[in-house]
Structure 1
Amino acid sequence: MRRSRRLAVPLLAVLLVGAAVIGSGVVGTPGALRLRGADVSFTLQEEAAGTVLRDGGRTAPIESVLAAHGATHVRLRVWVDPAAGSSGDLATALALARRAQAVGLGVVLTLHYSDTWADNENQTPPAAWAGLDAAGLAAAVEEHTRAVVSAFADQGTPADVVSIGNEVDHGMLWPVGSVSGGDWSGFARLVRAGLRGLAEASGPPPSSMVHLAGGGDAVRAAAFADRLRDEGVLPDVWGLSYYPFWHGSLDDLGRTVSALAAASGTDVLVVETAHPWTLQDADGTGNIVATRDQLPDGDRFPPTPEGQVAWYEELRRVLTAVPDGRALGFMVWEPGWGSAVEAAPGAGNQHDNLTLFDRDGRGLPALAALRPPADAV
């Protein structure tokens, strides 16, 4: 089958309180692995630093390499007011969306409601929103979401999936939206505001997503979905980050995806994942994965190009086995992010051995994992 450029069949993002539909989106026909791709948000910085990628002996931009291997989407992040020269500004994301569309790839958009990285350990409100109360933050989230999503649609590159926040296991926009004290009302109010922003944006309505970090903890993920549902909120898609060196084995991932899908009745996207192809550090700052014993299946899937291939093939198998085809797919975390670009000034890159390209920019064999599922060919 020809690679899908756009996911086609809508599921509804439902605000359960009052059964009001406040957003809808495109998530595709039933079946696993319908969405495959990678986060490419560092691309312009890499290119400015002189990074050149090659695949099959020919130079090519990363989006072309991904598309050639069967990817359907790129993932892009947008911060509110990032520092100059960072990777999360809207103009960069829009430029990368245009490049992605030119080779037939759709967009998964992640909104960090922060001026920098927002994740399960950091959810700092943007400086411009400092001092806002709950109502003010909700209004800011709604307007920011509407404006950013409209910007993608207005340039002819509408997002297919939009994540309301990034790794929001403990809420977002702390302290107002924190759930750590057991009160979820502030967080739920902010998510609903984001969903309203999606519904108000121009262009075709994207699918909504809520993204959790703990891709290997089935009990916690299902409990989170249940708790948010109790607050009257259900996204179209649940997102998970899954890194074996932090979140356990691929079997743990399979159980988590299955539990989350069953708890919510919606699709689940592994929106971040990666596996090392080497233990060598390229920039002298050390790497997140420095020893084989950090990998739960390190003997089975060693940190080598061959081990990386085998790991991604098992990832595909595990996701395909999720009941009812609820595993929407997976996105590789920044496969082109090499040592030329730092995560932050002075921080280096501790992920330079998790790429899908070697130190000379040559595509690694694991790119084959982006191919369509066998039953879609």
Structure 2
Amino acid sequence: MIQYFRFLIISLLFVSCTDETATAEFAKGADVSWLPQMEATGYEFKDEEGNKADVLQLLKDRGMNSVRLRVFVNPSSDPRSGHCSQEETVDLALRAKEMGMDVMINFHYSDSWADPGKQHKPEAWEDLSFKELKEKVYEHTFEVVSAVKAGGVTPKWVQVGNEIPGGMLWPEGSTDNWDQLGQLLNAGYEATKAVDDNIQVIIHVDEGDNNEKFVHFYDNASEQQVKYDIIGLSYYPYWVEKDYTETIDNLAFNLKDMVKRYDKDVMIVEVGGLYDQVENTKNLLEATIKAVRDVPDNRGLGVMYWEPQGEKSWSGYSLSAWQEDGTPSPALDAFKN
């Protein structure tokens, strides 16, 4: 009888552990990289009763469990296009961890914004040879991720490059030079894994509803043996001048197709809707979350809003999700489910 109970207890513990491992928490979060600058300029975030509140707590109250933080190499002090230094990123990552949130580090490999229209090298890297440039990608990635970990936070994800359908660190890392781009991406991957092999590396492309664009990019990445763990997608119907109802099915198809073609997990690392179209933006978020959750075998990992707290009067950004009185937009309630 005693042997039976021992067997029963061990069996139950085994089932409990395997169930926990099999069902990783779905990431619901936001890029909040403007936050320190907003607070430094005196912007006040408020709860629904009009009381001053910690914005991370306000996001957590709406179901968010993760943050995404961008890193520039040698940024300016401009409040909207600068900051995001290594030191500031470490501080904000620790603040998020203390709130119980997971952290994604997003490398732009530039002194300011990098996106599909611009992938400028940091000024200090301008005259480097390609070999030296690759070394700098490794060193910068390793240094920042190591600093974040030493500060008490092991990032759950690291994004090597930001929206890079045309490559990064132009011209050397352009998609006109896929062999070199592949080497740069692998340098970022290897630097991340050298800090902690459990950190998941993301490669990120915009227009998540555009399957042809994704197949072209990731086919080339496969040919160059680029190393990564997760396919990151942006999804902004606004920027393609369509309502989400016209593109959501394409997004859902593309998510599933990426998993099937490349055997990689997928994640929406940027999404947003118009701040003054609250109901439409909420519906967009609900549909996006559903599309990711519907990816078979739990391979859709999560959804991140891009700068919801970046209220338009401060940022000038129309796809934030905050109201003029300093309170969160009801659109963010989509993350509660």
TM range (shorter): 0.7 to 0.9
- Structure 2 counterpart of 1:35, one-letter code: A
Rate the CA distance shift 1:367–1:38 in 2: closer, same or farther, 3 A: same
Q: Which residue of 1 aligns with 2:12?
A: none
For the 8 Å contact 1:176–1:187, the answer to whether it is kept is yes
For 2:184 and 2:306, locate their aligned partners in 1 and report how far apart those are by CA, in whole Å: 26
For 2:283 and 2:96, locate their aligned partners in 1 and report how far apart those are by CA, in whole Å: 28
Highest Rg: 1 or 2?
A: 2
Q: Deviations over 1:194-251 (max 9, x none)?
A: 11111222x5641101010121211220221121011112311111111011245222
Aligned positions of 1:54-203 closer than 5 A:
54-57=46-49, 58-85=51-78, 86-179=82-175, 181=176, 183-201=177-195, 203=196
For the 8 Å contact 1:153–1:204, the answer to whether it is kept is no
Unmatched 5+ residue regions in structure 2?
1-16
Q: Which residue of 1 aligns with 2:270?
A: 272
Q: Which residue of 1 aligns with 2:258?
A: 260
Q: Which residue of 1 aligns with 2:287?
A: 314
For 1:212 and 1:144, locate their aligned partners in 2 and report how far apart those are by CA, in whole Å: 21
Q: Deviations over 1:140-180 (max 9, x none)?
A: 1011110000000001011110011101111111111111x
For the 8 Å contact 1:270–1:329, the answer to whether it is kept is yes
Q: Deviations over 1:250-270 (max 9, x none)?
A: 222112212222221111111
Rate the CA distance shift 1:264–1:30 in 2: closer, same or farther, 3 A: farther
Q: Which residue of 1 aligns with 2:231?
A: 238
> Displacement, 1:321?
2.1
For 1:369 and 1:265, locate their aligned partners in 2 and report how far apart those are by CA, in whole Å: 29
Helix, strand or coil: the match of 2:312? Answer: coil
For the 8 Å contact 2:311–2:321, the answer to whether it is kept is no
2:298 is equivalent to residue 325 of structure 1: yes
Q: Which residue of 1 aligns with 2:320?
A: 355
Equivalent residue in structure 2 for 1:226, among 219, 232, 239: 219
Helix, strand or coil: the match of 2:58? Answer: helix
For 1:72 and 1:315, locate their aligned partners in 2 and report how far apart those are by CA, in whole Å: 17
Deviates most, 192-201 or 115-124: 192-201
Helix, strand or coil: the match of 1:234? Answer: coil
Helix, strand or coil: the match of 1:337? Answer: coil
Deviates most, 247-256 or 331-340: 247-256
Helix, strand or coil: the match of 1:54? Answer: coil
Using the size of structure 1 for normalisation, the TM-score is 0.78
Rate the CA distance shift 1:234–1:264 in 2: closer, same or farther, 3 A: farther
For the 8 Å contact 1:51–1:340, the answer to whether it is kept is no
Helix, strand or coil: the match of 2:302? Answer: strand
Q: Which has the higher contact order (CA 8 A, sep 6+)?
A: 1
For 1:130 and 1:174, locate their aligned partners in 2 and report how far apart those are by CA, in whole Å: 10
For 1:318 and 1:205, locate their aligned partners in 2 and report how far apart those are by CA, in whole Å: 26
Q: Deviations over 1:61-100 (max 9, x none)?
A: 2111111222121000001101124232122212211111
- Structure 1 counterpart of 2:298, one-letter code: G
Using the size of structure 2 for normalisation, the TM-score is 0.86
- Aligned positions, number: 309
2:189 is equivalent to residue 216 of structure 1: no
For the 8 Å contact 2:267–2:292, the answer to whether it is kept is no
For 2:275 and 2:75, locate their aligned partners in 1 and report how far apart those are by CA, in whole Å: 31
> Displacement, 1:30?
5.1
For 1:151 and 1:210, locate their aligned partners in 2 and report how far apart those are by CA, in whole Å: 22
For 1:310 and 1:118, locate their aligned partners in 2 and report how far apart those are by CA, in whole Å: 29
For the 8 Å contact 1:142–1:197, the answer to whether it is kept is yes
